[in-house]
Amino acid sequence: MQGITRRTTLLGTLAAPMVVQEVGAQGAFDWRRFRGERIEVSVQLSPRGNLLVQHNREFEELTGIRAGVEVVPEQQHRQKIIIEYASGRPSFDVGEVSLHVNKRQVGRARWNTDIRALIADQTLTAPDFDFPDFAQGMREYATQADGRMDTLPAFADYFILYYNKELLAARNITPPTTFDEMFDSAKRIEDRPRQIYGHVGRGLKNANVVFWSTFLLGTAQRDMINAQRQLITDTDDAIWAARQYQRFLRDASPPGSIGFNWNECQTTFMQGRAAMWIDGIGFAAPLEDPQRSRVAGKVGYAVVPRGPANHHCALFGAGYGIPEASRKKGPAWLYLQWALGKQMQLRMLAAGAGVPARLSPFTNEEVISQSRFPREFFATLRASGRIARAGLPEILPVTEFRDVIGTALTNTIGGADPATELRAATAAFRPILERSERET
Amino acid sequence: MSEAATTALSGAATNERRRRNYARTYVWFVVPAAFAVVATILFPWAFTLYVSAFEWRLGGTREWVGFANYTKLFTDERFGWAMLRTLLFTAMAVVFPLILGLAAALVFNQKFPLRGLARTMFILPMMATPVAVALVWTMMFHPQLGVLNWLLAQVGIPPSMWVYSPDTVIPTLVLVEVWHWTPLVMLLILGGLASLPGDPYEAAKIDGASPLQAFWHITLPLLAPYIVVALIIRTIDALKAFDTIYVITQGGPGSASETINIFLYLQAFAFYNVGYASAVVVVFFAIILALAALLMWTRQRVKI
């Protein structure tokens, strides 16, 4: 056996810095670590999805990873990803999950990987990723009951009050701060022969539940299930909220509202036929588009009015996750860091495409001052963020819940008694919820 | 046994052997088609039947329940209403296009200036994509901003709520179906009219029959096979109508336009209740099968 000679020792000493450098290189974060790989991304058709498509080349040039971005309309996307997850071999490596609809379902089945481990891995996470920049509420919204974080929060969708400044000013009315004020203002503005209405809102089954929950959030009860995860949609507060819903849709909205989803509401408001509309923040962009909207530049923004006991606006949102079955978790994690990085979140805010999950975009005065949206819009976003509360219960059969309760609410527009309808709907849905809770 | 008989027997045996060898050689050519049929028709059906015996929600547990989904179906009021709405919608979406299609075919069978252009214009709706058609109609039905209520106002008729009222939603959806599919019926019947012989009409004219009598006693009976074909096609189409209804109303307002297809879609793809949805498929398929058999039987009778 050849012993250690002076020459080998010298060579080893000389080579040591190179070895150390190589080890360091393997340990340091590198955006191009997975260059040459290809990943598939599945997101919903929305201004946010469009932003990802628009800037996809930036990600590909940054990382050398090819990303195929599939954009599918919201409802179909939700169905598609659930069926793909259930198949055990989803076709995508990054998927958008509507937290207000599918969070519990995805979490219970453990379809997505826990991204906390990825965040903690310094070799995979960019030094400037800045996880604390994500709003505390959004981080909690994306976290499952067992503490797993299986999506990275992407955006929030608050319900806000849109109002037509001209119609309100014509009657010398200021934006309402309570539901009673709002109803009285709507009735004062109403001019049925000219087809001008004080209010427009969702009446179509399923879509309408989130408008009813806007009223419920203002009561002492606030939620639709209690701490024991039992259904409480037939209580006095729930019935009060249904009566509010009924009077707004039946007495202060255009005829035919019983079949209105958000698109009919948007059209009515855009044409200057309705003075007030409570709905998601994402409609600001089309309303301010002068090519499509007659009220562009005349739209006022305010937080939803306060209820008798509380002041909340309904919160919805989505996160992006990586399927447990994906074989490209590393490249997918890089995609998440880019897609939900500070730059992309700032673009989301500037384009009015949604409310970023990160806090830093709101501090960028330059972008805000150059935005086509008024300052009032950004002020409303900030204020809504402080009072936001989940607008739908975090339960597995949430779509069925919306269907059953939504049908009851629709019936009230036709004149049915809210108490009778809600009691019947609650009795019908309670066994479905109990069964799903037993399975959980 | 004579030599001739032995030879004949031996020949028959050889033929049989050849036939078997032939079949053995060529049976492999059938395998791909058989595989395709098993994979795309038989297996899905067997699997649907199997799944219908489970209480199964996607992402949840799976529990064997036997026929419970079927018994639940027959006590489910919502399913019952959906079935009634489907039958009502189908009846109207078949009868009106048949009547209007027949009338249009009789008109287009006459010679008049620009007949070709008029025929082309008439069949244009049929060429449109159902989802695109539905989206355009949705805009036209808007109670305040839609062109239909504007047109009604021009002639002093009060506005209608169209698909935005539980009372008018089904007839309004039928209106879309009638607009979309009457041209198809017209084409089928026009083809029949073109093939009718002239002799019976000449004989009827000599006997002094009026045009109405000639239509009633000659045209209609001779057209019956074509009308039945149109009836079968329309019935199957109307029974499986989904895209138009889903895009325009999503089954609403409330559940006022929730047909079986919408009910099934909700159970399977909104509630992910695949066991129950499979039972709905099986029952609905049985109903369609029975209806198709009835129509085919009628067609045979008309041919005779």
Contact B255 A205 (CB under 8 A): yes
Cα distance from A398 to chain B (closest Cα, Å)?
A: 8
Would you place residue A4 in the very low, low, confident or very high pLDDT band (cuts 50, 70, 90)? low
State the Cα–Cα distance between residues A131 and A135, nearest whole angstrom: 9
State whether B22 and B161 are in the same domain.
no
Best of B57, B255, B267 to disrupt the A interface by mutation (most A CBs within 10 Å)? B57
Structure tokens at B270: 């909104």
User: Do B135 and B223 lie in a common domain?
Assistant: yes
> How many A-B residue pairs are in contact by the CB < 8 A criterion?
93
In a domain, B94, yes or no: yes
B40 with B176, same domain: the answer is no
A215-272 residue pLDDT tens: 999 999 999 999 999 999 999 999 999 999 999 999 999 999 999 999 899 999 999 9
Among A11-15, A170-174, B197-201, the range with the most confident prediction by mean pLDDT is: A170-174
Q: Does A324 touch chain B (CB under 8 A)?
A: no
Query: Residue A425 in 3-state DSSP?
Result: helix
- Residue B175 sits in which domain range? 76-303
Bridge partners, residue A315, by sequence = A158, A390
Are both B136 and B175 inside the same structural domain? Answer: yes
Structural domains of chain A, ranges and CATH numbers in brackets:
38-156+315-389 (3.40.190.10), 158-314+393-439 (3.40.190.10)
Q: Assign residue B286 the CATH number of its domain.
A: 1.10.3720.10
Provide the token pair at B147.
């062109």
CB contact at 8 A, A324 and A400: no
Model confidence at B42, in pLDDT bands (50, 70, 90)?
Answer: very high
User: Quick check: B23 pLDDT over 90?
Assistant: no
- Does residue A430 contact residue A234 with C-beta atoms inside 8 Å? no
Nearest CB to B255: which of A111, A271, A407?
A: A407
CA-based radius of gyration for chain B? 27
Asked if B162 and B243 sit in the same domain, the reply is yes
For B41, which DSSP code? I
Quick one: pLDDT band at residue A23, thresholds 50, 70, 90? very low
Average pLDDT over residues B288-292: 86
Which strand (E) or helix (H) includes residue A283? Answer: none
Please report whether residue B70 resides in a domain. Answer: no
Residue at B222 is within a domain: yes
Give the Cα separation of A265 and A267 in Å (integer): 5
Same domain, B135 and B197: yes
Q: Beta A299-303 vs A197-200: how paired, if at all?
A: unpaired
Within a 13 Å sphere around the CA of A199, how many CA atoms are in the beta-carbon half?
29
Q: Is residue B81 part of a domain?
A: yes
Token digits of residue B145? 């901003």
B58–A204 C-beta distance less than 8 A: no
- The answer to whether A259 contacts B252, with C-beta atoms less than 8 Å apart, is yes
Across the range A10-32, mean pLDDT stands at 60
Instruction: Decide: A436 and A397 in contact? Cβ < 8 Å.
Output: yes
* A313 and A217 Cβ atoms separated by less than 8 Å: yes
The answer, yes or no, to whether ipTM is higher than 0.85 is: no
DSSP-derived letter for residue A296 is: T
Per-residue confidence (pLDDT) for residue A385, from 0 to 100: 87
In a domain? residue B297: yes
How would you classify the pairing of strands A274-280 and A197-200?
Answer: parallel
Residue A318 tokens, joined: 């989505």
Quote the CA–CA distance of B29 and B36 in Å, as a whole number. 12
Q: How many domains does chain B have?
A: 2
With an 8 Å Cβ cutoff, are B59 and A204 in contact? no
Pair (B219, B82) in one structural domain: yes
Residue B273 in domain: yes
Q: What six digits make up the tokens of A175?
A: 């934006």
Q: Could you tell me if B199 and B259 lie in one domain?
A: yes
Model confidence at B65, pLDDT cuts 50, 70, 90, reads: very high
State the DSSP code for A143: B
Percent of chain A with pLDDT over 70: 94
- A375 by Cβ neighbours in 10 Å (0-12 / 13-18 / 19+) ranks as exposed
| Residues of chain B positioned with their CB less than 8 A from the CB of A257 | 164
A13 pLDDT higher than 70: no
Query: pLDDT tens, B129-145?
Result: 999 999 999 999 999 99
**DSSP assignment letter at A372:** S
On chain B, the residues whose CB falls within 8 A of the CB of A269 are: none
Q: Which helix (H) or strand (E) holds A280?
A: strand A274-280
Is the CB of A205 less than 8 angstroms away from the CB of B60?
no
Indicate the pLDDT class of residue A7, thresholds 50, 70 and 90. low
Question: In this structure, is residue B62 part of a structural domain?
Answer: no
Does A79 lie at the interface with B, CB-CB under 8 angstroms?
Answer: yes
Q: Which of B133, B129, B137 is nearest to B163 (CA)?
A: B137
Kindly report the pTM of this predicted structure.
Answer: 0.84
**What is the rounded CA–CA span in Å between residue B247 and residue B138?**
8
pLDDT for res B296: 82
B105 and B19 in a single domain? The answer is: no
Res. A19: pLDDT tops 70: no
HEC profile of A158-186: EEEEEEEHHHHHHCCCCCCCEHHHHHHHH
B115 and B214 share a domain? yes
Task: Please check whether residues B272 and B235 belong to one and the same domain.
Answer: yes
Question: For residue A81, what are its two tokens?
Answer: 């990803």
β-bridge partners, A159: A280
Residue B125 lies in a domain: yes
Q: Output the six-digit token pair for A99.
A: 């937290």
Shared-domain flag, residues B158 and B220: yes
Interface of B with A in 201-240 (CB under 8 A): none
A283 at B interface, C-beta within 8 A:
no
* Largest distance between two CA atoms of chain A: 106
Both ends of chain A: CA-CA distance in Å? Answer: 65
